[in-house]
Amino acid sequence: MRNEYIPKVLKEYRKKNQYTVNDVSLMLHERSIDVAPKTIYGWESGQANPSADMLLTLCELYNIENILSAFGYSDTENFHITAAEKDVIEHYREHPELQEAVGVLLGCRPRRKVRTSINSAKSSTKKS
């Protein structure tokens, strides 16, 4: 699925940084990434999309800090927590020794199979 913001954002941020397409091509070459200026023009015109790795590299070059927001995504969209839920999360993080048990209780993690000494004793007596 294509993101219609990618071409516009790449061009906008390149210009904000006062880079030419040739500058970007040279900066990428310094990172051992060979990209022709024509390819960069293609990304900025929407004729092609950079790979995910290349997009992240360009974001780094262009000093794009909030990548999701820059490309039209919201990292908080459709995700809201109450004050009580936030409190539970903070307490959960303070007790790593209980996190596995909480995960099992909530069905987030599979229960580990634990061999008890009774089961071990039963199986060893049956073999004898």
pLDDT per residue as tens digits for the range 50-104: 999 999 999 999 999 888 888 887 755 566 778 888 888 888 889 889 888 888 8
* 68 vs 116: CA distance, rounded Å: 49
Our CA angle for 15, 21, 25, nearest 5°, is 130
Residues 128 and 121: beta-carbon distance below 8 Å: no
- State the pTM of this model: 0.56
Residue scoring higher pLDDT (4 or 57): 57
